[in-house]
């Protein structure tokens, strides 16, 4: 049932933004790597981000067929969210509401218009890491896999340490335990980068990104775009983390949401896809919604959230990058225009 529900929700999301089926930019790079992930003579720019292409290679989804790997993980991500909240005794309608915060936001919209990009793998593993902080082995393993997909997920490490530590009752030892375990989860990333670097020069290295002049130039280009670009990641769904930050009496929850959003914001120094970058803050939206539900009660939360989902659809989706703002128009409108325009 969860698989069917995820598919149905993604079809609705695809109708809202008109999916693309033509890989571009990094999508093309991942396609090439998936054909021969261990042939270091081809495509070096993204060689450190091996998880997605390796999965494509092992499953036979190579080359153009690789676009189905991110789509499959996007469906898994949506299904996992629904099943997780059902497992927490959320009624089906509430679990669906929580899932809608993901599938009807940039978390699903942007992957649907970016074929070949492996962001859904990050979302899937990051979600599991944040969903099960009390199960340290699972949490650390999922975070390690997220890092093997994309090193940018490191920005969530402080928030994840806070979350894991908050689930244990051992004072400062909880933070040491969480930091050591999650620090160990980064080792596969460093080992992979070291091994790959012995065979090929990779473009996207720490030196490439953490260059002062590059960071300053990047910030100059995107600074005016940040407020709108960030808003477009979730639009009205930002209400939930904002409500917790402004009204919660729990310092723990405010720190956690602040660490997530603050960590995600740090990416702006090294990348330009503003809306896409802020999508990684989806754990803050979910945590905010969970706290609102606990505070308001089921009925009020249910009514409010479904209204918010409806209002969110009324705000057309856009994708903000350094190149400007790109509209993601609904599929019926796009196809109707093509028919009329001939």
Q: List the one residue out of 45, 29, 11 whose CA is nearest residue 196.
A: 45
pLDDT in tens, 54-79: 999 999 999 999 999 999 999 999 99
Secondary element (H or E) of residue 319? strand 317-321
- CA atoms lying within 13 Å on the CB side of residue 214: 11
Pull the structure tokens for residue 22: 């033509």
pLDDT in tens, 251-308: 899 999 999 999 999 998 888 889 999 999 999 999 999 999 999 999 999 999 999 9
Length in residues, the chain: 342
Sign of the alpha-carbon dihedral angle for 195, 196, 202, 206: negative
**Chain centre to alpha carbon of residue 16:** 19
Rounded to 5°, angle at Cα 331 from 238 and 334? 115
Helix (H, G, I), strand (E, B) or coil at 268: helix
In this model, does residue 43 exceed pLDDT 70?
Answer: no
Residue 306: the pLDDT is 98
Range name among 125-139, 209-223, 308-322 with the lowest pLDDT average: 209-223
Residue 62: the pLDDT is 95
pTM: 0.95
Round to whole Å and give the CA distance between 189 and 341.
Answer: 50
CA-only gyration radius of the chain, Å: 20
When pLDDT is cut at 50, 70 and 90, the band that residue 334 belongs to is confident
Phi and psi (nearest 5°) for 199? -110, -25
In this model, does residue 179 exceed pLDDT 90?
Answer: yes
Mean pLDDT value across the chain: 93
Q: Where are the alpha helices (DSSP H) in the chain?
A: 2-17, 26-35, 51-59, 68-87, 92-103, 106-112, 119-131, 136-149, 157-166, 172-184, 187-197, 206-209, 212-222, 226-234, 239-247, 251-265, 274-278, 282-296, 298-314, 331-341
pLDDT in tens, 2-34: 899 999 999 999 999 999 988 988 999 999 999
Asked whether 13 and 103 are in contact (CB, 8 A), the reply is yes
Instruction: Report the 10 Å Cβ neighbour count for 149.
Output: 26
Asked whether 260 and 161 are in contact (CB, 8 A), the reply is no
**Chain centre to alpha carbon of residue 183:** 21
Round to whole Å and give the CA distance between 139 and 185.
Answer: 9
In this model, does residue 170 exceed pLDDT 70?
Answer: no
Residue 181: the pLDDT is 96
Percent of the chain with pLDDT over 90: 73
Residue pointed to by tokens 């060689």: 47
Residue 177: the pLDDT is 93
User: What region, left, alpha or beta, does residue 43 occupy, with left being phi > 0 and alpha being psi -120 to 50 degrees?
Assistant: left
Percent of the chain with pLDDT over 70: 98
Helix (H, G, I), strand (E, B) or coil at 181: helix
Residue 80: the pLDDT is 98
In this model, does residue 207 exceed pLDDT 80?
Answer: no
In this model, does residue 201 exceed pLDDT 90?
Answer: no
Residue with the bigger pLDDT between 229 and 335: it is 229
When pLDDT is cut at 50, 70 and 90, the band that residue 133 belongs to is very high
Asked whether 99 and 85 are in contact (CB, 8 A), the reply is yes
Instruction: Report the 10 Å Cβ neighbour count for 283.
Output: 25
Residue with the bigger pLDDT between 117 and 339: it is 117
- CA atoms lying within 13 Å on the CB side of residue 158: 12
Residue 342: the pLDDT is 64
Segments of 104-148 assigned E as strands = none
- CA atoms lying within 13 Å on the CB side of residue 298: 7
């Amino acid at each position: 049932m969860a698989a069917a529900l995820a598919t149905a929700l993604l079809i609705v999301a695809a109708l809202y933004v008109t999916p693309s089926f033509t890989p571009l930019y990094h999508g093309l790079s991942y396609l090439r790597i998936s054909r021969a992930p261990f042939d270091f003579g081809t495509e070096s720019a993204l060689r450190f981000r091996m998880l997605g292409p390796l999965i494509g290679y092992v499953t036979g989804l190579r080359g153009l067929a690789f676009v189905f790997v991110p789509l499959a993980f996007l469906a898994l991500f949506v299904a996992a969210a629904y099943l997780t909240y059902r497992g927490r005794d959320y009624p089906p309608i509430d679990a669906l509401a929580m899932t809608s915060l993901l599938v009807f936001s940039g978390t699903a919209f942007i992957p649907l218009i970016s074929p070949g990009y492996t962001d859904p793998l990050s979302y899937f593993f990051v979600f599991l890491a944040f969903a099960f902080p009390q199960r340290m082995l699972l949490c650390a393993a999922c975070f390690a896999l997220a890092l093997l997909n994309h090193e940018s997920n490191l920005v969530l490490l402080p928030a994840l340490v806070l979350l894991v530590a908050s689930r244990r009752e051992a004072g400062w030892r909880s933070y040491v335990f969480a930091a050591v375990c999650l620090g160990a989860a980064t080792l596969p990333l460093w080992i992979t980068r070291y091994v790959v670097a012995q065979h090929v020069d990779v473009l996207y290295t720490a030196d490439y990104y953490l260059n002062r002049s590059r960071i300053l130039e990047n910030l100059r280009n995107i600074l005016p775009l940040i407020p709108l670009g960030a808003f477009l990641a979730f639009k009205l769904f930002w209400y939930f983390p904002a409500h917790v930050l402004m009204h919660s009496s729990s310092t723990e929850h405010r720190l956690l949401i602040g660490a997530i959003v603050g960590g995600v914001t740090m990416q702006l120094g090294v990348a330009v896809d503003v809306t896409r970058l802020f999508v990684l803050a989806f754990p803050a939206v979910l945590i905010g919604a969970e706290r609102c539900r606990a505070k308001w009660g089921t009925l009020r939360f249910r009514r409010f959230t479904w209204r918010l989902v409806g209002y969110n659809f009324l705000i057309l989706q856009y994708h903000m990058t350094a190149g400007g703002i790109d509209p993601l128009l609904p599929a019926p409108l796009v196809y109707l225009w093509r028919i009329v325009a001939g």
